[in-house]
Amino acid sequence: MSAQAHYFKIGLFMLSGITLVVLAVIILGAGALFKKKILMETYFDESVQGLSVGAPLKYRGVTIGRVEHIGFVGNEYKAELSDDDRYRYGHYIVVRVSVKEVFPGQTDEERREEVKRRIEEGLRVRLTSQGLTGVVYLEADKLDPNEYRPVTIAWAPKTLYIPSGRSTVTLLGSALTKIAKDLEQAEVHKVTADLDALLLSLTKLTSQTDMSQLSVQAGQALSELRGTLQQARSILANPAIQSFMSDAAATAGEARHLVADLSQTSKQIRRMSEELPGTLTRLDNTVRRVDHLVVSKSQDIDEILANLRVVSADLRELMTNAKRYPSQVFLGEPPLHANSARR
């Protein structure tokens, strides 16, 4: 009886543990099991080495899905591709991922329109690795749509399609390849050999040069330079030099004022020269009008001149008479007497 009771307790304990495990799985994983997921896919025209099923899909560092399938387009869409398309696109890699409900409450059509709008704004998926040799995963982010254009496809995707961009691994490899090519073209070995030859020449020159004598000559040169600086300082401290510098500064100021006056005068001359053609034109018109007036009134002018001659002659005669008979000019003849008038 004791053995049977012991086995009964062990069995009861195991059943209780299994029940607790099942309940924990149901409680903790029910949400993940019944949560709606959306399938999306993208295509790569490059190697996806390091990417495996189960790798995360991250959007700006936040995990939003996982890789469900990796294969060739030629196998996935074999029936939809012609022979030419199969040769051209068959080597493309199709990566299908399951994404959490990122657009809750939307219908399939609304979801497609939302994804299409974000693709136009630059939404792309690319391969990324954690460090140089880390785990490869997918990263979705907004990139430049002009630089990262979608690859051309000749089939209808089975799920939502998001274009891909060149992976960071490929970009880094291309940059390293370019640097290696530049180093090859730079002839590093030749530059190193030239540098070694230069260092050898400098070493020989240093060994052949009498460093003690060179040191003495350098000391003498420094002493002469120090003396020259002292002489220059004493010259500059001379009151005459300072007065000369002050006069030079004043002269420079007057020269600046003179230049300003000359600039103003030149502006006035320029303005007068610009107005001179108009003035000459008006003067020419005035001369032409005077000439026309003289020509049209020449007869009247001749008559006026003749009258002026007569008046001049009369004035000359009047002046002559005034000189000879001033009383007659100023007083005139006496009036006639009344008796003389009756007669």
The two beta strands, 93-100 and 37-44, are antiparallel
Ramachandran area for residue 224 (φ above 0: left; ψ -120 to 50: alpha; else beta): alpha
Would you state the pLDDT for residue 72? 92
What span, in angstroms and rounded, lies between the C-alpha atoms of 65 and 56?
A: 6
Q: Where are the domains of the chain?
A: 34-172
**Could you tell me which residues come within 8 angstroms of residue 305 by beta carbon, excluding any fewer than 6 positions away?**
none
Q: What is the pLDDT along the chain (343 residues), one digit of tens a residue?
A: 456 666 667 777 777 778 777 776 666 554 444 456 788 899 988 888 888 899 999 888 888 889 999 999 988 898 888 888 888 888 898 999 998 766 666 677 787 888 788 888 888 888 887 765 567 888 888 888 888 888 788 888 888 888 888 876 666 666 666 666 666 666 666 767 777 777 777 777 666 666 667 677 778 888 888 888 888 887 777 777 777 777 778 888 888 888 888 888 888 888 888 888 888 888 888 878 877 777 777 777 777 777 788 888 877 877 777 777 666 655 655 545 545 444 4
pTM: 0.44
